[in-house]
Amino acid sequence: MTLSTTNTRPATAAGTLELGGDLTVNRLGFGAMRITGDGVWGPPADRETATSVLQRCLELGVDCIDTADSYGPEVSEELIADALAPYPDELVIATKGGMRRDGPGKWRPDCRPEHLRDACEGSLRRLRLDQIPLYQLHTVDPDVPLAESLGTLVELRDEGKIRHIGVSNVDVDQLSQALDITPVVSVQNRYNVADRKSEPVLERCEAEGIAFIPWFPLAAGDMAKPGGPLHELARAHGASPAQAALAWLLARSPQMLPIPGTSSVAHLEENLVAAELHLSAEDMAVLDAA
């Protein structure tokens, strides 16, 4: 880590974002997928380290942790509760339902109402929560009408089991359909400096005041290789390419809420210092054109 900071809670340097008008979070969170085993399957190789990563998140100012019932499955949520419960008042736990697992690296959608209800109830138990602050539909199931899946989340919200609804892996039309059904406070799609296919979704989120949570935020492809534009920009700032990729996301939109994940305390600290890296208009132009 070559950047230095005087901020002992660097996540706070990214500014804040409102979720649903009543939850305020720092704009650099943590994705808890990688604290599980290989292939996002089973327990971590080192449970003590996974616990340390989660606890260090809070020390560094992270107040939004994203997970899912399918991470492990169930392992990530259980680790979060074991490491952090009872939670500080400012911590927002976001989880997801709608994916099943058939083994390491194997995922399949299941957004049937009965499964989503069971998934939410399970997440409540594992996370030791009476209400989940942000519950996200993990994907759109091609075999289940979106209105049925989201209708179940609306019911769960009305029952007080979830506070706000988010969606994930949607296109613009699906987001529009979701907004016709219920208020949506977040969208979680794959997006990074090298993969901007969700740009239209991001633009809709900006127009609607919806948080955009990019997953796989550190991917940069050839741009991060020696001589590539991200590599060169990072070197000019005394930063790593990963830090520069996160800084680009934060500068790209005020609705951006990156959640870089890691199983290493050192990498967590390196990622969060990216909140202190401010890119100029010229820096952004170089990366935008790449």
3-state helix, strand, coil in the chain (%, to 5): 40, 20, 40
Q: What is the pLDDT of residue 230?
A: 95
Rounded to whole angstroms, the Cα distance separating 66 from 77 reads: 9
Q: Is residue 5 part of a domain?
A: no
Q: What is the pLDDT of residues 66-85, one digit of tens each?
A: 999 999 999 999 999 999 99
Q: Is residue 242 part of a domain?
A: no
Give catalytic status of residue 135 as yes or no: no
Q: What is the pLDDT of residues 96-135, one digit of tens each?
A: 999 999 999 999 999 999 999 999 999 999 999 999 999 9
Of these residues, 71, 87, 135, 191, which one is catalytic?
71
Percent of the chain at pLDDT > 70 equals 98
Q: Is residue 234 part of a domain?
A: no
Residues with Cβ within 8 Å of residue 102, at least 6 apart in sequence: 108
What are the contacts of 192-195 at 24+ separation with CB within 8 A? 192/216, 192/217, 192/218, 192/219, 192/220, 192/245, 192/249, 193/219, 193/220, 193/223, 193/230, 193/245, 193/248, 193/249, 193/287, 193/290, 194/219, 194/220, 194/221, 194/222, 194/223, 195/219, 195/221
What domain range is 166 assigned to? 10-220+253-263
Q: What is the pLDDT of residues 238-286, one digit of tens each?
A: 999 999 999 999 999 999 999 999 999 999 999 999 999 999 999 999 9
What CATH number has the domain bearing residue 213? 3.20.20.100
- Which parts of 110-258 are beta strand (E)? 132-137, 162-168, 186-190, 211-215
Q: What is the pLDDT of residue 6?
A: 54
Higher per-residue confidence, 56 vs 290: 56
Helix pair angle (146-158, 113-127), 10° resolution: 40
In the structure encoding, which two tokens stand for residue 145, read together?
């009408």
Q: Is residue 20 part of a domain?
A: yes
In the structure encoding, which two tokens stand for residue 207, read together?
């127009």
Q: For residue 93, is pLDDT > 80?
A: yes
Q: What is the pLDDT of residues 161-173, one digit of tens each?
A: 999 999 999 999 9
Q: For residue 2, is pLDDT > 50?
A: no
Average pLDDT, the chain: 96
Q: What is the pLDDT of residue 1?
A: 41
Q: What is the pLDDT of residue 3?
A: 55
Q: Is residue 243 part of a domain?
A: no
Q: Is residue 270 part of a domain?
A: no
Instruction: Kindly report the backbone phi and psi dihedral angles of residue 64, in degrees, each rounded to the nearest multiple of 5, phi listed first.
Output: -140, 115
Q: Is 158 exposed, middle or buried (0-12, 13-18, 19+ CB in 10 A)?
A: exposed
- Tally of domains in the chain: 1
